Structure 1
Amino acid sequence: MSNRETLQAYEEHVEAYVAGTSAEVSGPPRQWMDRAVAGLAPSARILELGSAFGRDAAYLQGRGYQVECSDACAGFLALLRAKGFAARALNILTDTVGGPYDLILANAVLLHLSRAEFSQVLARLAAALAPGGRFAFSLKRGDGEGWSSHKLGAPRYFRYWQPEQLPPLLAVAGFSTWDLQGAALARTHADWLYGIAVR
């Protein structure tokens, strides 16, 4: 239920999300994405989850990579396709991920999943990676869970994480190594966790 309601909030407030989100990739998010693609060949298969309006995909394309965009919201898919991105509808809880991919990127996507959903999705994404493939993800750092209407004016579910909670879940999902780094972003007034896990 929480995921469906969160997706509905995005669907009904696409313009508000775009207006309230930075159009540029900079600071810790940029450093994290640079680490995620470090050493990857230009021919690497990259899937982005929750591409929204294509900001992160455009950054990676600017670095010479082709990105397969995806989103669960029709409004964002329309935006992506209007900008020329190849984009498909993908709900990470219910749809087939495909693959194998060399990198799957999920920036501020899995933070909308409950702990049980998060564990389920981790396993599905690990299975969609090629051996040695990478999963790059960002989460909000904190404790517990809750609903917030900040930014969109409509309720979205958030699950908060501490870095020590993640390694056991990553290991069970099938990842062999991982790197987790924290960062405080003044623009979002939040503490974030940036992870890169390797199958």
Structure 2
Amino acid sequence: MVVNDEGANPQDATLAAYEHGAREYAERNAGTPSPQVGDLVTRVTRGARVLELGSGPGRDAAALESAGLTVDRTDGAAAFVDALHAAGHEARVLDVRADDFGGPYDAVFANAVLLHVPRADLPGVLATALRACRPGGVLVASFKKGDGEAWTQAYLDDPRHFTYWDEDGLTAALTTAGWVPEHVFESTRPESVERWITAIARTPASPHPYRRSG
């Protein structure tokens, strides 16, 4: 069900939807880890330090750790972070609109989270992720494929806002942010009712400015 909620700040309203529906979302996403886990694991060495943006209930973080990686779990919704703490994991609240993500990391993993960022703001968020990575670091992120943007109440009672992307647009956003795109491709699974894109990119080989918080 698509809803028109033009008066709300898209990202604030979407975070509120996850705060209110964290338990329901976790129940709906307790299955097989996302295929983007494999995309990252094959591009980093064992023991690599990974920043996960939008950990949610922690399904993908667990899979990454099982593959020998070290994951910094973060989420913009405190309800998810509280649940991760209750399950015995370290986690912190991190809004992707923050000026600094910490680090340095070997990779940034963002499965189905940056799709909530407005189109004009994505290059800035990607640039912050770039500064959090060591030179040669990896970004793996997934987005909904399509045109424009929309509100939906699918899966949760409260509305969430999505920005849709195509391969050319994502490639341009990555390049603008300073990433070197490696592979931007449609990654829709056969059972999915929606189309998806995976973006894989590297930081430049030469050092880039790094700003650490604190």
TM-score interval, normalised by the smaller of the two chains: over 0.9
Q: Report the CA distance between 1:186 and its aligned residue.
A: 4.7
2:124 is aligned, of 120, 123, 142, to: 120
TM-score by length of 2: 0.86
The runs of 5 or more residues in structure 1 that have no matched partner are none
Q: What RMSD in Å do the two structures reach over aligned CA positions?
A: 1.4
Name 1:47's counterpart in structure 2: 51
Name 2:195's counterpart in structure 1: 191
Name 1:175's counterpart in structure 2: 179
Q: Secondary structure at the match of 1:46?
A: strand
Whether 1:19 aligns to 2:27 is yes
**Cα distance change on mapping 1:179 and 1:97 into 2, 3 Å:** same
Q: How does 1:77-156 map to 2 (within 5 A)?
A: 77-94=81-98, 96-156=100-160
C-alpha contact 2:146 2:165 (8 A) present in aligned 1: yes
Q: Secondary structure at the match of 2:150?
A: strand
Count of aligned pairs: 195
Name 2:163's counterpart in structure 1: 159
Q: Report the CA distance between 1:7 and its aligned residue.
A: 0.1
Of the structure 1 ranges 68-77 and 95-104, higher mean CA displacement relative to structure 2 is found in 95-104
Whether 1:64 aligns to 2:72 is no
Name 2:206's counterpart in structure 1: none
Q: Secondary structure at the match of 2:195?
A: strand
Q: Secondary structure at the match of 1:157?
A: strand
C-alpha contact 2:43 2:138 (8 A) present in aligned 1: no
Residues in 2 aligned to 1:76 and 1:191: alpha-carbon distance in whole angstroms: 26
Q: Secondary structure at the match of 1:78?
A: helix
Q: Report the CA distance between 1:122 and its aligned residue.
A: 0.8
Of the structure 1 ranges 55-64 and 89-98, higher mean CA displacement relative to structure 2 is found in 89-98
Residues in 1 aligned to 2:192 and 2:160: alpha-carbon distance in whole angstroms: 15
The runs of 5 or more residues in structure 2 that have no matched partner are 1-8, 204-214
Amino acid at match of 1:192: W
Residues in 2 aligned to 1:193 and 1:124: alpha-carbon distance in whole angstroms: 21
Q: Report the CA distance between 1:22 and its aligned residue.
A: 4.0
What does the per-residue CA deviation read over 1:40-84, in whole Å, with 9 as the maximum and x for residues that have no partner? 222211110110111000001111111110011111001111222
Whether 1:74 aligns to 2:82 is no
What does the per-residue CA deviation read over 1:131-174, in whole Å, with 9 as the maximum and x for residues that have no partner? 00011100000000010011002100000001111122111111
Q: Report the CA distance between 1:37 and its aligned residue.
A: 2.2
Residues in 1 aligned to 2:43 and 2:152: alpha-carbon distance in whole angstroms: 38
Q: Secondary structure at the match of 1:108?
A: coil
Q: Report the CA distance between 1:92 and its aligned residue.
A: 1.0
Q: Secondary structure at the match of 1:180?
A: strand
What percentage of aligned pairs have identical amino acids? 37
